[in-house]
């Protein structure tokens, strides 16, 4: 049949033919397959014949004697339709384990709107649902149809998404059903196979490694096929990287079935097997971990997945290593993803391509609303310095947090409600409906690809066992676990569905299960027994033990002058704030003889020279573009039009990118992000700067679990730099100490460098040294105490020649002291600002005799320069005492760390002493005058000057 336009299609039917069409349309309404294909196409396209829905004048008919009440019913029906779209989730069948109370909402009840079934039947479908399919005739059918779409095994929350295009796109996907995956018989069998492998793996571990923790995925088994669906889609579209983060529940199954970690590798990590210690078979894929290792359900892995169509393309799938601290891996994975998207090879800002990588974050239902790092990560999702083009979030919702129920774990209806504040679309889906779950990830993936924003799936299942397999949940959740104990697994649920659809026979599923079990059993029984005896911690890699002393960091003076000149150039007609530009232009002659390079310029020259070496740089932090102390100014603002310019971007010598961003007001999320970025982009110098050093303690989990220990546990290399403003200047407890002692407590096995430098030249060389080790086996983080008031102190400024000569010195001798070696009886050693205070006091003590004194600055505290210190002390035959000086309280700062080192170095006939503040619970006093009194006492005691004032705190 030749189908014409909508305007004339029905005009070709007259008389008896009209009766025939009406007859066929009635059959079509009963079952579209019962009519001829051409008629079906016509009805699909145009709906009912015009004469069935119009009066003689061509106008849509209305009930005779239409009244205000009729109009009210239509508007009420429209409100009901919108309520179903908005609140259908409140009655949706999304719980695999049905809740104790029936899901009912008056918002979805026609009676709430004064509507009966007859009222709804009297309303044509198109009046209240403009895009209603032709098979839907009236208002009652509209309600039934939309409830199936919005309140079934899958439901939606999108009303909080304010972007009309996004919301309408999702609504169209839902109402047309185009987001749903359509599986043929073979695809359904493959899905059942996947579910059976997931379940069979857990069952095999349970019976083979009895009473050992594995944090089973059972109850959320479908998560593995969901992940696999996304991985296959991304691989088909030539995505280069998929970055994944998840907690421990289900991790072993994901490692096996998504990351391709061999079963025998996993089996070998279960100690105390019934009959033997196990090692992987020969040729099995090795996983590179650190030397101290971690428990099996914290490890990550990576896998290269080939594209079946094009062998040269592969997708790298990475599951991040993760400690037990739930959700803290989230920003780390986002850092991985952004680093994989950024092209850092050219000067200027990075070029980001969000199609190159995307992230999948799997959350716990208790942790998602409970851990603040989740909100921090979500907040970064659309910020220029942190956006990664949309992450797909899956809440692995097992209805419990250890033993804590939902009513005690959150104040919201759903675990996902936090995401509403960030306008992230939410899908709730029943984990016992595998095809609905695949449809959910299909929708999420398409949304991410189209809008480059986050999407969240609330995968609602259950936890078959306790928090771990040795935990008994029935004492705290007896009602829930009674239901779980009687509930079939998802593989069995889906098996029954396929048998009913005649896709498989009754015996097929039994055979699949037996095959899975046999495969696992064969692998296990063919594994070798470990005859090596007791295992010990592996030896520290040789490169990790390197002192880094041989790295050359000097830059010829002429090159520095050219770089400095380039940093002072501006685009045409760019109008910098005049007062600022005047200050910056003073740097023009800083490298000439007789002038000095201050802290800020030393940093800028270090950055510029690193870029000239072809190393990219990324610097973020609160106010880092300007600098907390108004010293950096690496992003300039045009006073006329508000445009910005970064001098590093215009540098002709630069051979790599420079990124600098003011961060949001958080520490945990941002530090985690930068750590992740530094791991994934090892060639880049990545720096995070605290507004004040003590604020870094808000990110302590990232520091403890990732930055300090990631290499030892997981073999994860990072050369991240943490810039932590530190120094006692009378600003009170919160703006004095960067908590140096905490980093020193964590210092071991050359896991990082901890430094507190006191000159711009030392800072210059230290930054260049850090850039040089990036991507090498010697790589390690740098924790640097940075100055505040000293930034503008001329005692910290350096002659230009010190940048063009020499290198970083871990231990620096005070110029002018220690010349008369036989006269020296006291050596004072310390670090940071107090050493500048000592120098200032010595210069101000006119005509004093300092032959008896020598002062040493420990610019690098870890690893401590023991050999150099010992060689210096041996020069003084009449040495009587070695004094450690610090401005921090005795139980803080470096004293507790260095005293054992010093004790081993200092001779028995020499006294080892401490000069500083007494033990304190708070890092610093709040009253500036008391601070000044304390500081004077410390300086006077070190230099044996006349007694300074006494603190009224009893010092």
- The CATH number given to whatever domain includes residue 203 is 3.40.50.970
Residue 295: is its pLDDT beyond 90? no
Kindly give the interhelix angle for 185-208 and 490-500, rounded to the nearest 10 degrees.
150
What is the per-residue pLDDT for 48? Answer: 80
State pLDDT tens for residues 120-136: 999 999 999 989 998 99
Helix (H, G, I), strand (E, B) or coil at 522: helix
- List of long-range contacts for 543-546, beta carbons under 8 Å, 24+ apart: 543/776, 543/777, 543/778, 544/711, 544/749, 544/750, 544/777, 544/778, 544/780, 545/750, 546/750, 546/778
Q: Are residues 664 and 693 in the same domain?
A: yes
Q: Are residues 828 and 792 in the same domain?
A: no
CA-to-CA distance for 97 and 246, rounded, in angstroms? 23
Q: Are residues 869 and 798 in the same domain?
A: no
Give the number of C-alpha atoms closer than 13 A to the C-alpha of residue 373, restricted to the C-beta side: 26
By residue range, what is the domain housing residue 59? 9-154
What is the per-residue pLDDT for 685? Answer: 98
What is the per-residue pLDDT for 267? Answer: 86
| Contact (CB, 8 A) for 248 and 298 | yes
Q: Is the dihedral of CA 604, 605, 610, 611 positive or negative?
A: positive
Helix (H, G, I), strand (E, B) or coil at 822: helix
| Contact (CB, 8 A) for 423 and 184 | no
pTM of the model: 0.89
CB neighbours (10 Å) of residue 16?
8
Residue 247: is its pLDDT beyond 50? yes
Contacts of 552 (CB under 8 A, 6+ apart): 807
Q: Are residues 502 and 360 in the same domain?
A: yes
CB neighbours (10 Å) of residue 797?
21
Pairing relation of β-strands 811-813 and 853-858? antiparallel
CA-to-CA distance for 842 and 846, rounded, in angstroms? 8
Residue 955: inside a domain: no
Q: Are residues 484 and 618 in the same domain?
A: no
Q: Are residues 768 and 881 in the same domain?
A: no
Q: Are residues 825 and 850 in the same domain?
A: yes
Element (H, E) at 886: strand 881-889
Of the three residues 769, 787, 804, the one that is the final residue of a domain is 804
| Contact (CB, 8 A) for 788 and 578 | no
Among residues of the chain, what percentage have pLDDT more than 90? 71
The tally of domains found in the chain comes to: 4
State pLDDT tens for residues 227-236: 999 999 999 9
632, with CB counted inside 10 A (0-12, 13-18, 19+), is: buried
CATH code for position 687: 3.40.50.12470
CA-to-CA distance for 436 and 222, rounded, in angstroms? 10
CATH code for position 929: 3.40.50.11610
| Contact (CB, 8 A) for 347 and 658 | yes
Candidate from 169-178, 190-199, 492-501, 581-590 with smallest mean pLDDT:
581-590
Q: Are residues 800 and 839 in the same domain?
A: no
What is the per-residue pLDDT for 948? Answer: 45
Pairing relation of β-strands 721-725 and 881-889? unpaired
Q: Are residues 856 and 934 in the same domain?
A: yes
State pLDDT tens for residues 641-654: 999 999 999 999 99
Q: Are residues 237 and 122 in the same domain?
A: no
CA-to-CA distance for 203 and 517, rounded, in angstroms? 9
CA-to-CA distance for 955 and 934, rounded, in angstroms? 7
| Contact (CB, 8 A) for 896 and 741 | yes
Q: What angle do CA 279, 284, 287 make, to 5 degrees?
A: 80
Work out the average pLDDT over 433-450. Answer: 98
Residue 902: is its pLDDT beyond 50? yes
Residue 697 backbone dihedrals phi, psi, to 5 degrees: -65, -15
| Cis geometry, peptide bond prior to residue 863 (ω within 30 degrees of 0) | yes
pLDDT band at 832 (very low <50, low <70, confident <90, very high): very high
What is the per-residue pLDDT for 58? Answer: 40
State pLDDT tens for residues 144-190: 999 999 999 999 999 999 999 999 999 999 999 999 999 999 999 99
- Helix then strand count (H, E) for the chain reads 33, 26
pLDDT band at 2 (very low <50, low <70, confident <90, very high): very low
What is the per-residue pLDDT for 26? Answer: 78
Residue 584: inside a domain: yes
Strand partners, 686: 618
Residue 235: inside a domain: yes
Residue 342: inside a domain: yes
Pure H helices in 88-184? 117-121, 125-128, 139-150, 164-176
Residue 33: is its pLDDT beyond 60? yes
Cα 200 to Cα 105, 208, 835: the distances in Å are 39, 12, 65
Residue 263: inside a domain: yes
Of the three residues 769, 804, 839, the one that is the final residue of a domain is 804
| Contact (CB, 8 A) for 227 and 254 | yes
DSSP letter string, 254-293: HHHHTS---HHHHHHTS-S-SS--EEPPTTPPP----SS-
pLDDT band at 7 (very low <50, low <70, confident <90, very high): low
Work out the average pLDDT over 745-761. Answer: 96
Strand partners, 783: 722, 754
Residue 533: inside a domain: no
CA-to-CA distance for 368 and 372, rounded, in angstroms? 8
Q: Are residues 816 and 786 in the same domain?
A: no
Report the chain's mean pLDDT, rounded to a whole number.
89
Residue 409: inside a domain: yes
Residue 402 backbone dihedrals phi, psi, to 5 degrees: 60, -100
Helix (H, G, I), strand (E, B) or coil at 373: helix
CA-to-CA distance for 872 and 680, rounded, in angstroms? 41
CA-to-CA distance for 779 and 804, rounded, in angstroms? 24
What is the per-residue pLDDT for 743? Answer: 96
CA-to-CA distance for 346 and 508, rounded, in angstroms? 58
CA-to-CA distance for 58 and 51, rounded, in angstroms? 8
Kindly give the interhelix angle for 599-612 and 557-567, rounded to the nearest 10 degrees.
100
Q: Are residues 484 and 575 in the same domain?
A: no
Work out the average pLDDT over 750-758. Answer: 96
Residue 534: inside a domain: no
Of the three residues 137, 154, 171, the one that is the final residue of a domain is 154
Residue 62: is its pLDDT beyond 80? no
CA-to-CA distance for 927 and 931, rounded, in angstroms? 6
State pLDDT tens for residues 705-724: 999 999 999 989 999 999 99
Q: Is the dihedral of CA 923, 925, 929, 934 positive or negative?
A: negative
| Contact (CB, 8 A) for 335 and 680 | yes
pLDDT band at 8 (very low <50, low <70, confident <90, very high): low
CA-based max dimension of the chain: 127
Contacts of 271 (CB under 8 A, 6+ apart): 212, 277
């Amino acid at each position: 049949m030749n189908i014409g336009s909508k305007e004339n299609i029905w005009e070709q039917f007259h008389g008896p033919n009209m009766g025939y069409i009406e007859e066929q349309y009635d059959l079509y309404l009963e079952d579209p397959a019962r009519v001829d294909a051409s008629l079906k196409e016509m009805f699909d396209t145009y709906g009912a014949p015009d004469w069935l829905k119009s009066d003689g004048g061509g106008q849509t008919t209305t009930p005779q004697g239409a009244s205000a009440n009729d109009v009210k019913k239509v508007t009420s029906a429209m409100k009901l339709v919108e309520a179903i779209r908005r609140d259908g989730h409140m009655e949706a069948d999304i719980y695999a384990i049905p809740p104790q109370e029936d899901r009912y909402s008056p918002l979805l009840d026609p009676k709430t709107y004064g509507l009966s079934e007859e009222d709804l039947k009297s309303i044509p479908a198109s009046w209240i649902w403009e895009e209603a399919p032709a098979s839907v005739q009236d208002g009652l059918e509209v309600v039934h149809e939309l409830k199936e779409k919005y309140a079934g095994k899958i439901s939606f929350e999108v009303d909080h998404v304010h972007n009309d295009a996004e919301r309408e796109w999702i609504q169209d996907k839902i109402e047309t059903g185009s987001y749903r995956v359509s599986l043929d018989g073979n695809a359904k069998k493959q899905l059942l196979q996947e579910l059976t492998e997931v379940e069979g793996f857990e069952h095999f571990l349970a019976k083979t490694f009895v009473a050992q923790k594995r944090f089973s995925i059972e109850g959320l088994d479908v998560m593995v096929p969901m992940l696999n669906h996304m991985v296959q889609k991304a691989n088909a579209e030539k995505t280069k990287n998929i970055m994944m983060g998840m907690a421990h529940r289900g991790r072993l199954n994901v490692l096996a079935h998504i990351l391709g970690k061999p079963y025998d590798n996993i089996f070998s990590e279960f100690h105390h097997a019934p009959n033997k210690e196990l090692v992987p078979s020969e040729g099995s894929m090795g996983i590179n971990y650190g030397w101290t290792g971690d428990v099996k359900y914290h490890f990550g892995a990576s896998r290269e997945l080939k594209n079946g169509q094009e062998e040269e393309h592969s997708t790298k799938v990475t599951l991040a290593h993760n400690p037990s601290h739930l959700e803290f891996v989230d920003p780390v994975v986002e850092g991985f993803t952004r680093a994989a998207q950024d092209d850092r090879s050219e000067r200027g800002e990075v070029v980001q391509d969000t199609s190159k990588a995307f992230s999948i974050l799997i959350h716990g239902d208790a942790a998602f609303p409970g851990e603040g790092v989740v909100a921090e990560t979500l907040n970064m999702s659309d910020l220029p310095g942190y956006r990664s083009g949309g992450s797909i979030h899956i809440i692995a919702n097992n209805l419990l947090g250890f033993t804590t129920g939902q009513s005690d774990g959150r104040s919201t209806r759903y675990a996902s409600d936090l995401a509403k504040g960030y306008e992230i679309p939410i899908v709730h889906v029943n984990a016992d409906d595998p095809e609905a779950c695949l449809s959910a990830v299909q929708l999420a993936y398409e949304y991410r690809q189209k809008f480059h924003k986050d999407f969240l799936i609330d995968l609602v299942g259950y936890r078959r066992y306790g928090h771990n397999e040795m935990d008994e949940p029935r004492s705290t959740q007896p009602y829930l676990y009674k239901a779980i104990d009687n509930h079939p697994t998802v593989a069995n649920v889906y098996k029954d569905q396929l048998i009913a659809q005649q896709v498989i026979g009754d015996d097929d599923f039994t055979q699949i299960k037996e095959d899975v079990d046999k495969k696992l059993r064969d692998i296990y029984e063919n594994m070798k027994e470990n005859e090596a005896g007791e295992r010990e911690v592996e030896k520290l890699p040789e490169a990790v033990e390197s002192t880094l002393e041989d790295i050359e960091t000097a830059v010829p003076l002429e090159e520095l002058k050219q770089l400095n000149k380039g940093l002072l150039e501006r685009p045409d007609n760019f109008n910098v704030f005049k007062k600022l530009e005047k200050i910056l232009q003073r740097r023009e002659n800083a490298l000439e003889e007789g002038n000095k390079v201050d802290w800020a310029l030393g940093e800028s020259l270090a950055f510029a020279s690193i870029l000239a070496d072809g190393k990219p740089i990324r610097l973020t932090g609160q106010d880092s573009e300007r600098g907390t102390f108004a010293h950096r100014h690496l992003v300039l603002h045009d006073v006329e039009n508000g445009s910005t310019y970064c001098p590093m971007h215009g540098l002709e010598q630069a051979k790599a990118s420079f990124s600098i961003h003011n961060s949001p007001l958080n520490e945990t999320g941002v530090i985690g992000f930068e750590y992740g970025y530094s791991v994934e982009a090892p060639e880049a110098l990545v720096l995070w700067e605290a507004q004040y050093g003590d604020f870094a303690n808000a990110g302590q989990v990232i520091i403890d679990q990732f930055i300090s220990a990631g290499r030892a546990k997981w073999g994860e290399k990072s050369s991240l730099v943490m810039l932590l403003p530190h120094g006692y200047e009378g600003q009170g407890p919160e703006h004095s100490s960067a908590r140096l002692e905490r980093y020193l407590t964590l210092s071991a096995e050359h896991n990082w460098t901890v430094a507190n430098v006191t000159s711009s030249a030392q800072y210059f060389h230290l930054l260049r040294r850090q850039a040089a080790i990036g991507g090498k086996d010697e790589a390690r983080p740098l924790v640097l105490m940075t100055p505040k008031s000293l930034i503008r102190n001329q005692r910290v400024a350096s002659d230009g020649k010190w940048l063009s000569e020499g290198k970083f010195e871990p231990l620096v001798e005070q110029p002018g002291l220690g010349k008369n070696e036989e006269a020296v009886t006291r050596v004072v050693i310390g670090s940071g600002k107090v050493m500048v205070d000592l120098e200032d006091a010595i210069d101000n003590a006119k005509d004093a005799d300092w032959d008896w004194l020598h002062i040493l600055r420990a610019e690098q505290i870890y690893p401590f320069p023991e050999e150099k210190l010992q060689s210096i002390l041996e020069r003084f035959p009449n040495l009587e005492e070695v004094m450690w000086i610090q401005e921090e309280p005795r139980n803080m700062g470096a004293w507790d760390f260095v005293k054992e080192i010093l004790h081993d170095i200092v001779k028995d006939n020499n006294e080892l002493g401490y000069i500083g503040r007494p033990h304190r619970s708070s890092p610093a006093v709040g009253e500036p005058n008391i601070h000044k009194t304390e500081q004077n006492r410390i300086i006077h005691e070190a230099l044996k000057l006349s007694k300074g004032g006494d603190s009224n705190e009893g010092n």
